[in-house]
């Protein structure tokens, strides 16, 4: 008794591990979820860069992508959506309960996943350097981000009032845009999202996981 930190009773002494990188918005969604679900003390967070091809990451996720969770039984769980659902199922299903009962919210959630994919694909294209960058693809990524955020700002009153996986994704998208694509200037393009963002982004879970290079 008393051997494990509070909240670790069911873990038979094993902590879960989360392999993440500071810049990854997908990993950030999991790190925010961990904090919102108050599961941080059951988790060891391990920073690894996927481009270094860490052996531990590859051994649990053949795609060598972050985030990757290693659960109490030593099994790998990915991707970020699956990890968030897994953690939520171990808590009280607070992050997905609204979403899973409403097809529209589920679709908005899927839209946030798609916008995240476009934000990351845009960053990957920039990393090719001037010669390899594709104007065609970048304009497609930017258009999907533009249309996606425009769609969501019109639905802002329909979004869950309690913290949810959808909320986490949208704050993560807006911060990632500031971090990697400041020239996009989402505040200028979608001013209706500013008030919503200011309320949610104040939470400790977001503050503690801000993206870093």
Contacting positions for ligand GSH (CB under 6 A) = 24, 26, 50, 64-67, 78-81, 120
The minimum distance between CB 144 and ligand GSH, in angstroms, equals 16
Q: Which two tokens stand for residue 6?
A: 């509070």
Nearer to ligand GSH, 49 or 154 (CB): 49
Nearer to ligand GSH, 11 or 64 (CB): 64
The minimum distance between CB 89 and ligand GSH, in angstroms, equals 17
The minimum distance between CB 15 and ligand GSH, in angstroms, equals 21
Residue 24: which of 5, 3, 55, 47 has the closest Cα? 47
The minimum distance between CB 62 and ligand GSH, in angstroms, equals 11
Contact at 8 Å (CB) between 77 and 68? yes
Instruction: Tell me if residue 74 falls in helix, strand or coil.
Output: coil
Contact at 8 Å (CB) between 112 and 119? no
Nearer to ligand GSH, 64 or 194 (CB): 64
Which DSSP string do the residues of 127-174 spell out, in sequence order? TTHHHH--HHHHHHHHHHHHHHHHHHHHTGGGS-SS--HHHHHHHHHH
Nearer to ligand GSH, 172 or 205 (CB): 172
């Amino acid at each position: 008794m008393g051997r494990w930190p509070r909240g670790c009773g069911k873990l038979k002494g094993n902590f879960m591990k989360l392999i993440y990188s500071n810049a990854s918005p997908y990993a950030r969604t999991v790190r925010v979820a961990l904090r919102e679900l108050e599961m941080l003390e059951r988790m060891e967070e391990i920073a690894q860069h996927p481009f270094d091809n860490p052996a531990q990451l590859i051994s649990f996720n053949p795609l060598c992508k972050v985030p990757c969770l290693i659960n109490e039984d030593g099994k790998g769980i990915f991707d970020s959506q699956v990890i968030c659902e897994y953690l939520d199922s171990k808590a009280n299903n607070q992050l997905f309960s609204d979403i899973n009962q409403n097809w529209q919210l589920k679709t908005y959630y899927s839209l946030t996943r798609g916008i995240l994919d476009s934000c990351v694909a845009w960053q990957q294209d920039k990393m090719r350097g001037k010669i390899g960058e594709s104007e065609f693809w970048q304009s497609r990524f930017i258009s999907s981000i533009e249309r996606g955020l425009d769609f969501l700002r019109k639905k802002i009153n329909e979004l869950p009032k309690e913290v949810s996986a959808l909320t986490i994704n949208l704050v993560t998208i807006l911060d990632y845009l500031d971090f990697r694509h400041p020239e996009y200037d989402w505040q200028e393009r979608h001013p209706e999202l500013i008030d919503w963002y200011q309320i949610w982004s104040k939470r400790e879970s977001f503050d503690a996981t801000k993206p870093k290079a």
